[in-house]
């Protein structure tokens, strides 16, 4: 359940940090001139904080400005969580370290990712989610759980679940590459009865579901790895899906719809490439 009404969602100020759940802030850069937007998330609990998928080198100044605008002293960030190793997540690691300036700072990821994250940063200790027992607990008892989603899209990909707010930080899962964007997914009640088209027949806007489906066909490794990841989502009580790209999903009906639509994809990853190649050669 969203903490914002439908009307409030239309007037959100993307120049500010936006609290999407209790103690959870979106601190991303809403560049409307690009198709791939990244969503770093800050979790603040008591006297400490965790930053999830902190962003690219180019986005660093915006992300850090928004962190400061939450009122948080960056020194209180104890962990940087990276759900895979792409530069849009990890490119700012060195800058983050310098501003946080905390000897207790550690990076949490999967060992498959840490091999590559080491090339961004050699200073903080790097922890693997397996050796942590797939969880991290704040000093006040708030618990984060790490859910492996191998090959969706990297070998060490995983999601992070905030037990307090039932927010699932889904990494690339439910992401989108599109030239339209809003922080919260825009859809109508008719989406469950509709086949995605270029334009919505209800509101006349470009359909955001097409961008989500196309992103997964291109980015995910295979239909099997995608379906495995979706099963991990369906197995948990989730009130908010917060992907690293694209829009937040806060409606149970939207979540169910997207899981069904994504599970139905037959051509994903290399199979999608083969299918597209066959189409081109048959013209």
Domain membership of residue 240 (yes or no) is yes
Q: Coil, strand, or helix at residue 78?
A: strand
Domain membership of residue 1 (yes or no) is no
Nearest to 222 by CA among 146, 154, 281: 154
pTM to 2 decimal places: 0.91
Domain membership of residue 234 (yes or no) is yes
- What CATH number is associated with residue 215? 3.60.15.10
CA distance 100 to 78: 9
The residue written with tokens 């050669």 in the block is: 281
What's CA 194's distance to the chain center, in Å? 26
CA distance 283 to 266: 22
| Sign of the dihedral defined by the CA atoms of residues 91, 94, 100, 105, in that order | positive
Q: What is the DSSP string of 166-194?
A: TEEEEETTT----S---SB----GGGGG-
CA distance 153 to 281: 28
Can you give the pLDDT at residue 4? 80
Can you give the pLDDT at residue 112? 97
Can you give the pLDDT at residue 36? 74
Can you give the pLDDT at residue 277? 79
Give, for all 283 residues of the chain, the pLDDT tens digit.
Answer: 568 887 788 889 999 999 999 999 999 988 776 767 789 999 999 999 999 999 999 999 999 999 999 999 999 999 999 999 999 999 999 999 999 999 999 999 999 999 999 999 888 899 999 999 999 999 999 999 999 999 999 999 999 999 999 999 999 999 998 778 889 998 755 555 556 555 555 555 566 788 899 999 999 999 999 999 999 999 999 999 999 999 999 999 999 999 999 999 999 999 989 988 777 777 6
Q: Coil, strand, or helix at residue 159?
A: strand
Domain membership of residue 272 (yes or no) is yes
Strand order in the sheet with 143-148: 135-137, 143-148, 158-162, 167-171, 240-243
Domain membership of residue 218 (yes or no) is yes
Domain membership of residue 68 (yes or no) is yes
Distances (CA, A) of 193 to 66, 187, 201: 39, 12, 12
Q: Exposure pattern of 24-37 as b/e (b: 16+ CB <10 Å)?
A: bbbbbbbeeeeeeb
Domain membership of residue 73 (yes or no) is yes
Q: Whole domain around residue 12: which residue ranges? A: 6-282
CA distance 156 to 11: 37
Can you give the pLDDT at residue 278? 75
CA distance 90 to 208: 27
Provide the token pair at 161. Answer: 């679940």
Overall domain count for the chain: 1
């Amino acid at each position: 359940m969203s903490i914002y009404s439908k009307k409030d969602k239309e007037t959100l100020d993307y120049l500010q940090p936006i609290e999407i759940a209790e103690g959870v802030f979106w601190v991303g850069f809403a560049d409307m001139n690009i198709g791939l937007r990244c969503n770093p998330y800050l979790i603040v609990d008591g006297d400490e904080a965790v930053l999830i998928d902190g962003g690219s080198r180019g986005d660093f100044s915006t992300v850090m400005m928004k962190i400061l605008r939450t009122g948080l002293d960056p020194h209180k960030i104890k962990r940087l969580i990276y759900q895979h190793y792409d530069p849009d997540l990890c490119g700012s690691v060195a800058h983050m370290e310098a501003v946080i300036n905390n000897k207790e700072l550690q990076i949490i990821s999967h060992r498959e990712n840490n091999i590559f994250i080491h090339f961004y940063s050699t200073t903080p200790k790097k922890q693997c989610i397996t050796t942590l027992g797939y969880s991290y607990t704040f000093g006040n008892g708030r618990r984060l759980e790490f859910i492996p989603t191998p090959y969706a899209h990297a070998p060490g990909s995983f999601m992070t679940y905030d037990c307090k707010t039932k927010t699932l930080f889904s990494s690339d899962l439910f992401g989108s590459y599109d030239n339209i964007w809003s922080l919260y997914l825009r859809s109508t009640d008719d989406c469950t009865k509709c086949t995605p088209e270029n334009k919505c027949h209800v509101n006349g806007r470009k359909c955001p579901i097409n961008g989500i489906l196309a992103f997964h066909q291109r980015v995910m490794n295979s239909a099997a790895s995608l379906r495995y990841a979706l099963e991990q989502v369906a197995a948990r009580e989730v009130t908010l899906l917060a992907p690293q790209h694209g829009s937040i999903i806060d409606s149970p009906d939207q979540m169910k719809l997207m899981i069904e639509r994504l599970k139905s994809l037959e051509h994903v990853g290399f199979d999608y490439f083969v299918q597209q190649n066959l189409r081109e050669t048959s013209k």
